[in-house]
Every structure is written in structure tokens, then in C-alpha cells.
């Protein structure tokens, strides 16, 4: 599993309001699905995503992470659609029963371009937006602090509990427990060890609840935020314009067809 992670370079892209970036991602999603032609996605990738990645100084990680996710998808897509597209008549290449048709390739290109576009846009968001900032921005925009807490704490506590699980396993090995190399048998050995982890998680949650209340989590006061969420008039305008463009991308082709 490839893990995309925040890369803090402090670039102008990083400094955008996280909500602006999220709206941009959602707008791109709508646009490339409303306009299925491959060149629409290509324009978004070449005209928006790549320049943004260069400005964000995240080009390397974007290609690396995006490539690792996309490569298998694209290969499968080209092989399957190129070779087996049912309506294909224009042979490009043939070997025995296998044939590649132009229609199949075009279909693969249209689907593939959209996937490439969406994966790169999502990875770029993750690379340039700290999850904490995203949550703060969404809370400021009206999302419930409790909901934001659930997401943030899950993101952080899962690795914390994983390291606790590793520590438990080590402690048992230190008491002579042989851990097999075979992953299946390994799981069998580890299962009984998970009891205390789960039980511990419950007592931890209870205690953590106490500690959170002690710090006013249940307070009804109007919350403030330590870090100012960066914003500007241009971004506020953009957050209206981008969805409008997306809506237009859906509506215009429909109207076109009716006319």
C-alpha cells in the first residue's frame, strides 16, 4: 500500500486555504466526469495540476506516489480495453487471436486520462495539505468539532495503537514466544495478544474522555483557533467560481444535445 504523506515546503500552494483546495478537487472530479474526452483531463493535468505541483515543489513526490498508484491501473486498462473492446473494428496490431483496435485504445485513453487526473489531484491535495489544517478549516467552515475530532484522532491513534501492538508482540517474544515468519501462522500467534490491546483501548478512551473534558472539550463557548486559516478575497471568489464551472461542465453538454 502506497502511503501518500504531507510534504511541508511552505509554498504558495501549501498556504492556500485547505477548503479552497478541497473545493478545487471536487470541481475537477465533476468536470472530468461530465466531459469524458481525454483531452479535458489532459488540459487539467498539464494546465493546472503540474504547474501547481511545480509551485508547491512537490513534483517529485507527486510523480513517485501518483506513479505507484497509477502504473498498475493504466497497464491493466490498456491491456484489457485495448485488446478486448467489443466494438473495435480498426485493427492497429494483430497477433493470432489477439488484436488491438483503435476504438479500444481511444476508450482506454478516455478512461485512463480521467483516472490519472483524479489520482494526481487527490495526491497533490494530500501532499500539500496537512490533515490538521484541513480539519481546522472545515471546523471553521461549520463542520462539527466532534466530527473533526473523530477523524483527526483516528488518523493519529491508529499508528499509536499499531506501535502499542508492536510493543506487546516484542514483550511476548522477550518471554520466549516464537513468532513464525509465515504471515498466516503469525496472525494465529498474534490473535490472543490483541485482547489487552482492545481492552486497553477502551480504558484509554475512557481516560482520554476525562482528560478532554478537563480541557473544555464539552464547553459551549465559541471556539477559537491557534492558527489563522489563510484566506483571501481571490480564494473566496474562486470557491464560488470553481463549482460554477463544474456545474457548467455538466449543464452545457446537456443543453447542447437538446439543441
Partner 1 sequence: MSIAIEFVDLHFRYPGGVEAVRGVSLTVSAGERVAIVGENGAGKTTLVRHLNGILRPTSGTVLVGGASTRDRSIAQLAAQVGYIFQNPDEQLFASTIGADVEFGPRNLGCTPSEAAARAASALATVQLQDQAGLHPHHLSPSERKRVALAGVLAMQTPVVVLDEPTTGQDARGVEIVAGVVDSIAAQGRTVVAITHDMDFCAEHFDRVVVMADGLVQADGDTRAVFDQVGTLERAAVEPPQLLRLAAHLGWHARPLTPAEFVDASTREPRDLGTRVD
Partner 2 sequence: MIQLADVSYAYPDSGRFVLEHVDLRIEPGTITGVVGASGAGKTTLAKILSGFIPHVDGGQLSGSVVIGGRDLSGLPLAACVSQVGLVIQNPFNQISGARYTVRGELAFGMENLGTPRDEMASRVAEVAGLLRITDLLDRSPYELSGGQQQLVAIASMLVLRTPVLVMDEPTSQLDPVGTRMVFGVLSRLRGAGTTIVVFEHKPELLHAHADRLHVLAGRRIAASGSPGEILSDPRTDQWGVSATRYTRAARLAREQGLVPAEAPLPVSFEQAAAFFGWSARTRPPSPEDAR
Residue 91 dihedral angles phi and psi, to the nearest 5°: -70, 135
From 149-157, 167-175, 236-244, 251-259, span contacting partner 2 (CB under 8 A)? 149-157
In the set 90, 144, 173, 232, which binds partner 1 (CB under 8 A)?
Answer: 173
Quick count: other Cβ atoms within 10 Å of Cβ 108?
A: 22
Q: Give CB contacts under 8 A, 24+ apart, made by 73-82.
A: 73/112, 73/115, 73/119, 74/112, 74/115, 74/116, 77/108, 77/111, 77/112, 77/115, 78/105, 78/108, 78/112, 80/108, 81/105, 81/107, 81/108, 81/111, 82/108
**Residue 203 makes contact with partner 1 by CB under 8 A:** yes
**Residue 143 makes contact with partner 2 by CB under 8 A:** no
**Residue 192 makes contact with partner 1 by CB under 8 A:** yes
167 binds, among partner 1, partner 2, none (CB under 5 to 8 A by kind): partner 1
The CB-of-5 to partner 1 minimum distance in angstroms stands at 15
Quick count: other Cβ atoms within 10 Å of Cβ 74?
A: 18
177 binds, among partner 1, partner 2, none (CB under 5 to 8 A by kind): partner 1
d(CA 17, CA 195): 42
**Residue 199 makes contact with partner 1 by CB under 8 A:** yes
**Residue 178 makes contact with partner 1 by CB under 8 A:** yes
Residue closer to partner 2 (CB basis): 87 or 159: 159
From 18-26, 130-138, 148-156, 198-206, span contacting partner 1 (CB under 8 A)? 198-206
d(CA 40, CA 49): 13
Binding to partner 2, residues 18-77 (CB under 8 A): none
Cell output for 156: 493519529
The CB-of-218 to partner 2 minimum distance in angstroms stands at 6
**Residue 170 makes contact with partner 1 by CB under 8 A:** yes
Cell output for 151: 477523524
Residue closer to partner 1 (CB basis): 192 or 218: 192
Q: Could you report how far apart the first and last alpha carbons of the chain are, in Å? A: 48
**Residue 233 makes contact with partner 2 by CB under 8 A:** no
The CB-of-144 to partner 2 minimum distance in angstroms stands at 13
> Which residues, other chains included, contact 154 with Cβ-Cβ below 8 Å and sequence gap of 6+?
none
Positions touching partner 1 (CB under 8 A) are: 164, 167-168, 170-179, 192-193, 195-196, 199-200, 203
Amino acid at each position: 500500500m502506497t502511503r501518500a504523506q504531507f510534504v511541508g515546503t511552505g509554498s504558495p500552494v501549501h498556504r492556500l486555504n485547505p477548503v479552497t483546495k478541497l473545493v478545487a478537487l471536487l470541481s475537477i472530479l465533476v468536470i472530468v466526469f461530465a466531459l469524458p474526452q481525454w483531452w479535458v483531463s489532459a488540459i487539467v493535468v498539464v494546465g493546472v495540476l503540474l504547474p501547481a505541483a511545480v509551485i508547491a515543489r512537490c513534483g517529485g513526490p507527486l510523480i513517485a506516489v501518483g506513479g505507484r498508484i497509477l502504473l498498475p491501473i493504466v497497464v491493466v486498462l490498456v491491456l484489457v480495453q485495448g485488446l478486448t473492446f467489443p466494438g473495435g473494428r480498426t485493427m492497429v496490431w494483430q497477433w493470432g487471436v489477439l488484436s488491438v483496435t483503435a476504438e479500444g485504445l481511444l476508450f482506454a485513453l478516455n478512461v485512463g486520462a480521467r483516472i490519472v487526473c483524479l489520482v494526481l489531484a487527490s495526491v497533490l491535495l494530500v501532499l500539500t495539505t496537512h490533515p490538521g489544517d484541513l480539519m481546522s478549516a472545515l471546523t471553521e467552515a461549520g463542520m462539527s468539532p466532534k466530527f473533526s475530532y473523530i477523524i483527526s484522532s483516528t488518523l493519529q491513534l491508529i499508528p499509536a495503537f499499531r506501535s502499542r501492538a508492536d510493543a506487546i508482540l516484542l514483550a511476548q517474544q522477550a518471554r520466549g514466544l516464537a513468532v513464525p515468519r509465515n504471515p498466516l501462522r503469525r496472525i494465529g500467534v498474534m490473535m490472543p495478544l490483541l485482547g489487552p490491546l482492545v481492552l486497553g483501548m477502551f480504558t484509554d478512551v475512557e481516560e482520554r474522555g476525562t482528560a478532554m473534558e478537563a480541557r473544555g472539550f464539552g464547553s459551549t463557548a465559541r471556539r477559537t483557533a491557534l492558527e489563522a486559516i489563510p484566506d483571501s478575497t481571490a480564494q473566496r471568489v474562486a470557491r464560488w467560481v470553481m463549482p460554477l464551472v463544474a456545474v457548467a461542465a455538466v449543464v452545457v453538454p446537456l443543453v447542447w444535445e437538446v439543441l
